[in-house]
Structures are given as structure tokens and as C-alpha cells.
Structure 1
């Protein structure tokens, strides 16, 4: 999921001139990473993640309900 445009729009809607943006994914299984968002690399990453943790796997000990993804964006600056 590429969130670059959403983050850019959020930043542009402020009057900040300097500062930091923090991207946070709530939950124990969420993660944020940065990559060059190129078609080949995105496909390779998806393939690698599917081999490591297939989406269709059923964990008997865990709650397997579908979840809504949430993203928290925090901006600090002047």
C-alpha cells in the first residue's frame, strides 16, 4: 500500500516549514517500511511476503477475522 500521496497531502494542508512526520500502525502485527515504489520491487516484496506468511493460512489459536487497516499520521514542526 503506497501512502505517499496521502502523507504529502496531509503535510501540504499545514503551515509547517520544518519538523518530522511519524507514521504509526497500531497493533502487534502491523508494520511500516520504506522502499523504492517500483512495479518490479513491489511484486518481488509481495511474492516474498506470500512465501513467508501466506494470506490464506488459518491460525487455529488466533482470531482470523478480517480487519480494517488503520493508519495514524502525526506531524510535528514549526
Structure 2
């Protein structure tokens, strides 16, 4: 089965910076030789995540506020003793959401719902430029 590997870069603001990458992924699929299959979107780094959400400002606030209640960033996590970078909560948030997502596509078009976008979330305490790998698998 044919495989294409592509890489994109995304800038995410600190502390739950959510970036809609749907159009970037769609453009990569349009340029692909593979017409039907799946694309896996994988965030390289342990304080970032990939998921789907209805990308709109108020829901982005809800995501951030919910994660603040579940995994507060100002807590003294054991991880802070290791590197002194105070991003233990960032790692836990990324672990909860996960680093990757696989989405089917047909005729080079993602099969997403009307209000469903692919997003990268930066949970680190600083703004990050993040490498994201796309692995396109399918048929010509």
C-alpha cells in the first residue's frame, strides 16, 4: 500500500494555544498522489496534542477553562524537580488529549463533520513552533 510522509510546521501560543490546521492538512492531501485512504497527523513533542473540535473562540475558551480545572498549570508537579521548567501540567494535558489523530479521506477530501476541524494544541508554557508529521496511506 502506498505511503507518503509530509511535514508541516505550526506556531502555537502558550498555555492551550489552539490552532486550526484543517486547511493545511487538506492542502497536503490535494497535493498527494494518494486519492483514498487515511492520514495520520502526529505532533512531534510531548507538550502538544492533535484532536478534532468545533473550532470557534468560545469553545476554545471552554477547552482552556476545563483543562485549568482538571490539570491546573500552577500546581507543583513532581516533574518540575527534574528539569525546573515548570511544565508538568503541560505534559499531563498533552497526555490526556494525545499526540495523534487518524482521519479517512475520499478523493483527496477529508471526511470530517460540518463543524469538525483538526486542531493542534500547544500546552507548553511558552509559544512553540511545532513540527507535525502527516503520514498518508492508501490507494492511487
**TM bracket (short chain):** 0.7 to 0.9
> What is the RMSD of the two structures over their aligned residues, measured on CA atoms?
2.5
Are 1:53 and 2:72 an aligned pair? Answer: yes
| TM-score normalised over the length of structure 1 | 0.72
SS of 1:5's equivalent? helix
1:75 corresponds to 2:136: yes
- Looking at secondary structure, tell me which structure has more strand per residue: 2
Match of 2:22 in 1: 4
Helix, strand or coil at the partner of 2:135: strand
Q: Structure 1 regions of 5+ residues with no counterpart?
A: none
Give the deviation of 1:28 after TM superposition.
Answer: 3.9
Higher relative contact order (CA 8 A, sep 6+): 1
Structure 2: state its 5+ residue gaps: 1-18, 88-125
Q: Are residues 63 and 19 of structure 1, via their aligned partners in 2, closer, same or farther at CA, if it must alter by over 3 Å?
A: farther
Q: How does 1:29-68 map to 2 (within 5 A)?
A: 29-51=47-69, 52-54=71-73, 59-62=80-83, 64=85, 68=129
Aligned length: 77
- CA change 1:69–1:53 in 2 (3 A) is farther
TM-score normalised by structure 2 residue count: 0.45
Separation in 2 of the partners of 1:61 and 1:49?
23
